[in-house]
Structure 1
Amino acid sequence: MKIIKLSAIESTNSFLKNLEKQSTQKNFTTVIANIQTKGRGQLNTSWHSEPFKNLTFSTLIKINALKVTRKFYLNFAVSLAVFEVLSEYKIPKLKIKWPNDILSGNRKICGILIENTISKDRIVYSVIGIGLNVNQEHFENAVMATSMIHHLKKETDLEKLFMSILKKIKKYVTYMENKKWEELKQLYLRNLYKINTATAFLDKHQHLFMGIIRNVNSNGKLVIELENASLKEFDIKEVIFAKV
């Protein structure tokens, strides 16, 4: 596995995508940085990380002939990889918040950004960006953030943690290569935040509504049971959890 270690970079995802465009990289090529100045999250949000305290890295994933219709299974796989490692570290009350944030209690401990390069109906490659709060204790502009040190009361070895996550990513990508689609999905749903629980949401028009998460379909859409008992599918930009 090729690992590129950098002192500082604007974005590990952008760096790795540019690297792949310049010359073909091996599967699981990974870029990790001590300082990331322009980290990105879902929906163009920014990801701020204290230098030398956390994990900020990106991994290149190539799955032979992966159809675009299966792209969300990569969200399942990577979320489960991080979830499993944090479980082994005994981080409490872990849940996967759709589409792929990792929470401890109601606080975000890890963000995942997946960017796919597509040709026709196939995914040529994916760049997986992971930002995990590890040894950072204070979050000035992120009230709902937490970190491993908050729970473990001691610092965690970043290198060991990093290698553990890469190993788990390989494990769950193997599920995809072996076409264990349903098994992967059920593991994800088993650990999904607020599933089968009455929850407040905001739709894309900022309308507040109550619903119950019942499923995430193979396209990655959140399936919510509405108050009239009908089921409605929502894409990533169409619904958010309401802060009530």
Structure 2
Amino acid sequence: MYKILANTLFLGKEVIYLPVCHSTNDLAMDMLKSGKVTEGSIVIAGEQTHGKGQRGNVWKSEPNENLTFSLVLRPTFLNAMDQFYLNIMISVAIVEALASLNLELLVKWPNDIYTTNGHKVGGILFENVISKGKVSSAVVGIGLNVNQKFFDLDQATSLVWLSKQELNLKEIFSLIIHKIEKNYVLLKGGKLSELKDRYLKSMYLLNSWAKYSDGEDFIGQIIGITEEGKLIMEKESGVQNFYAFKEVKFIK
């Protein structure tokens, strides 16, 4: 059972734990729409039967081995054009929280958590509601492979393989939520440049030449992101391109 967090101001003051849930994001969004949860509420499941990834992908996770949860935010201070900063502050929080356990991880644009050698350990799903040019609410789903040892996909791994020991799910959950809250306060205070700089420092393959495809294979390097979150890529030919999500993919 996950308890109310004592080391935060508002995140995790309501923690709704379910042994089994179809999707924490769907449940959190339904509860948000019906007024049953407030900002900072968290829905966490021991097992998701229909976990959601980005753009309709499925997030598969073994029961009680990993972290699968969704948190509710009401960032009404944030302009719609700046909503990618939610992505930035959450991604950075996860990477930096796990760094305190000597686990070296990076953010693969836009919101996957990767090892330095290119294996995926987690992902984030954002479902934002825009009203009058502002982000009126957001449900943020986080899936993190912690103690699971075997996967269907070769590119997937977990923290247990990195740390060489089983980890305490509740401890990691608390570390991440505490760091998210700190970053959220910075976001609310307008510290966009600081958060963006930290995101870039944590970015997988930044300023490294690698093989990509945007319909045609090419050699390129990531050189930054725009304020809207588009990827800035320099091709070997010297041409710069801007890519939205799913418009370019890394070829390992």
TM-score of the superposed pair, with normalisation by structure 2: 0.92
Deviation digits for residues 1-33 of structure 1 (CA, Å, limit 9, x no counterpart): 111000111100000000011116321110000
The whole-number CA distance in structure 2 between the counterparts of 1:187 and 1:99 is 14
Consecutive aligned runs of 4 or more in structure 1 exceeding 2 Å deviation: none
Please, which moves more after superposition, 101-110 or 226-235?
226-235
RMSD: 1.1
Aligned length: 239
Aligned pairs (5 A) from 1:1-244: 1-23=13-35, 25-92=37-104, 94-104=105-115, 105-139=117-151, 141-203=152-214, 206-243=215-252
The whole-number CA distance in structure 2 between the counterparts of 1:145 and 1:88 is 22
Report the structure, 1 or 2, having the larger strand content: 1
CA contact (8 A) 1:133 1:146 kept: yes
SS in 2 for 1:39: coil
CA contact (8 A) 1:54 1:158 kept: yes
CA deviation after TM superposition for structure 1 residue 202, in Å: 1.3
TM-score of the superposed pair, with normalisation by structure 1: 0.95
CA deviation after TM superposition for structure 1 residue 230, in Å: 2.5
SS in 2 for 1:85: helix
SS in 1 for 2:64: coil
SS in 2 for 1:73: helix
The whole-number CA distance in structure 2 between the counterparts of 1:188 and 1:109 is 17
CA contact (8 A) 1:117 1:123 kept: yes
CA deviation after TM superposition for structure 1 residue 197, in Å: 0.9
Deviation digits for residues 68-94 of structure 1 (CA, Å, limit 9, x no counterpart): 1110001110001110111111123x2
Please, which moves more after superposition, 164-173 or 145-154?
145-154
Structure 1 residues 48 and 101: alpha-carbon distance in aligned structure 2, compared to 1, 3 A threshold: same
Unaligned 5+ segments in structure 2 are 1-12
Question: Residue type matched to 2:172 in 1?
Answer: L
The whole-number CA distance in structure 2 between the counterparts of 1:240 and 1:24 is 39
CA deviation after TM superposition for structure 1 residue 118, in Å: 1.0
Question: Residue type matched to 1:98 in 2?
Answer: W
CA contact (8 A) 1:201 1:209 kept: yes
Unaligned 5+ segments in structure 1 are none
Percent identical among aligned pairs is 38
Question: Residue type matched to 2:114 in 1?
Answer: L
